[in-house]
Amino acid sequence: MSEKPKKRVWARWVVLAAIILGLFLFTGFFGIGLGIAPIMPHVYLPGEKLSETPILGIEGFYPTNTLVGLGLANLIVILLAVGVSSGVKSGKMVLTGISGAVEALLEMLYGITEGTAGKWTKQIFPWFATITLLVLAANWSGLVPGNETIGLIHEYKNGHPLIQAGPLTTIWEGGAGVDVESYDGKKYAVVPFLRPVSTDLNFTFALAVVAVVMIQVFGFRSQGMAYMTKFWNTKTLFSKPIFGVIDFGVGILELISEFSKILSFAFRLFGNMFAGAVLLFVIGSLVPVFAQAMFYLLEFFVGLIQAIVFGMLTMVFMAQATQGHGEHHEEEAHA
């Protein structure tokens, strides 16, 4: 009883101090604040290069901030793995702390998988868990303060001028207080050290491609070569005059839909997370204090939901691939 209120009080003072600091930095009330208007950070879709020398000398393979983000996400997942495995090895019946939360999440996901995949649960569930945990780690690592904000100042053509404001060198959008003397005509932007890997299309495409490939693998494992008839359905082409042709056409459409799944997976996650990041930028530049906190909460939920949705869609498609499709097509053809 005595421990918790103390911590709360401590946190309350931190929040108050942050608010006062924010007000001091970003507003010019009563002439005491610095009145630094936050600029709209540059929005750059690919991962930004941290260095101009390619890794291992491979063409185009530069160290980017999303690569650092990938390392962070991996680190989180590996730490969770260590925590969970050591927690289970210690013989406890119920895990505590973070590994307990992971266990609760995975138990829920296991329940969903069991309800959908049936006897293939044991094979499908690790993919579900991997994708969900990795994407969740990537999404939530983007919410850590300092992410996408602390970095090196680089020259950037769509950036803002770099000016001297008293003792500080800052990127300034320009306006009344611009010291024209120090303006050298070049534009700059901050390249952050860290950016969540789920805002990198390479990551989302890699996940999507692996997921779709594994869906096909599960299809072949469960049905053998009969799985091919899903895409190349010549069984009824000549026996049924019109419906056979329709069945064949549906098979081709299924083949196309497998490729559209890749796009859909990749862009859903990327779009959500990238849009979330842009949203935070925009809100931060419009209302310097308070408002961003609300959108942090929103991003928290979006990150969780997108992670679960990515994993769950993969799981559902895998489960569908393990079940027969022949009779399903018949129904569709006659509907």
Partner 1 sequence: MEALGINLPFFLVQVVNLIIMYVVVAKWIVGPISGLLEKRRATIAQGLEDAREAADARANAEKEAEKILAEAQAKAASLVREATERAEAAGRDVKAAAEAEAGKAREKAMAEVEDERSRILSDLRGQVAALSIAATQKLVGDALDDKRQHALVDEFFSGVKAGKVVIMEGAGVTGQSAEVTSALPLTDAEQATVKKDVLAKSGAAAVTFRVDPSILGGLVIRVGDKVLDGSVAGKLEGLRANLR
Partner 2 sequence: MEVEAAKLIGAGLAMIGAIGAGAGVGIVVGGAVQAMGRNPDATGTIQTNMILGIAFAEAIAIYCLVVALLILFVF
**69 counts as binding partner 1 under rule CB under 8 A:** no
**272 counts as binding partner 2 under rule CB under 8 A:** yes
- Residue among 31 and 60 whose Cβ is closer to partner 2: 60
**52 counts as binding partner 1 under rule CB under 8 A:** no
278 binds, among partner 2, partner 1, none (CB under 5 to 8 A by kind): partner 2
Among 312, 318, 319, 321, indicate the residue that binds partner 2 (CB under 8 A). Answer: 312
From CA 89, how far away is CA 131, in angstroms rounded?
A: 24
**264 counts as binding partner 2 under rule CB under 8 A:** yes
The distance of closest approach from Cβ of residue 311 to partner 1 in the complex, given in angstroms and rounded to an integer, is 11
Structure tokens at 259: 């490729």
Structure tokens at 321: 């691939």
- Residue among 137 and 283 whose Cβ is closer to partner 1: 137
Strand order in the sheet with 168-171: 168-171, 151-165, 187-192
Give, as one character, the DSSP assignment of residue 59: T
Helices marked H in the chain — which ranges? 3-26, 65-89, 97-117, 121-141, 201-223, 243-286, 291-322, 326-334
**268 counts as binding partner 2 under rule CB under 8 A:** yes
From CA 311, how far away is CA 278, in angstroms rounded?
A: 24
Q: Is residue 19 helix, strand or coil?
A: helix
The distance of closest approach from Cβ of residue 44 to partner 1 in the complex, given in angstroms and rounded to an integer, is 9
Could you tell me whether strands 151-165 and 168-171 are parallel, antiparallel, or unpaired per DSSP bridges?
antiparallel
Residue pair 135/193 in contact (Cβ under 8 Å)? The answer is no
Give, as one character, the DSSP assignment of residue 189: E
Residue type present at position 283: I
**73 counts as binding partner 2 under rule CB under 8 A:** no
Among 52, 107, 181, 331, indicate the residue that binds partner 1 (CB under 8 A). Answer: 107
Token pair 């393979």 is at which residue?
61
Applying CB under 8 A, which part among 28-36, 196-204, 233-241, 295-303 lies near partner 1? 196-204
Give, as one character, the DSSP assignment of residue 241: T
**275 counts as binding partner 2 under rule CB under 8 A:** yes
- Residue among 194 and 269 whose Cβ is closer to partner 2: 269
Going by C-beta distance under 8 Å and a sequence separation of 6 or more, which residues neighbour residue 38? 26, 284, 285, 288
Among 54, 71, 115, 118, indicate the residue that binds partner 2 (CB under 8 A). Answer: 115
Under the phi-then-psi rule, with left for phi > 0, alpha for psi from -120 to 50, and beta for the rest, what region is 311? alpha
78 binds, among partner 2, partner 1, none (CB under 5 to 8 A by kind): partner 1
Applying CB under 8 A, which part among 72-80, 107-115, 167-175, 236-244 lies near partner 2? 107-115
- Contacts with partner 1, residue ranges (CB under 8 A): 45-47, 58-61, 64, 67, 70, 74, 77-78, 80-82, 84-85, 87-89, 93, 95, 102-103, 106-107, 110, 122, 125-127, 129-130, 133-134, 200-203, 205-207, 209-210
- Contacts with partner 2, residue ranges (CB under 8 A): 43-45, 111-112, 115-116, 264, 267-268, 270-272, 274-275, 278, 305, 308-309, 312-313, 316
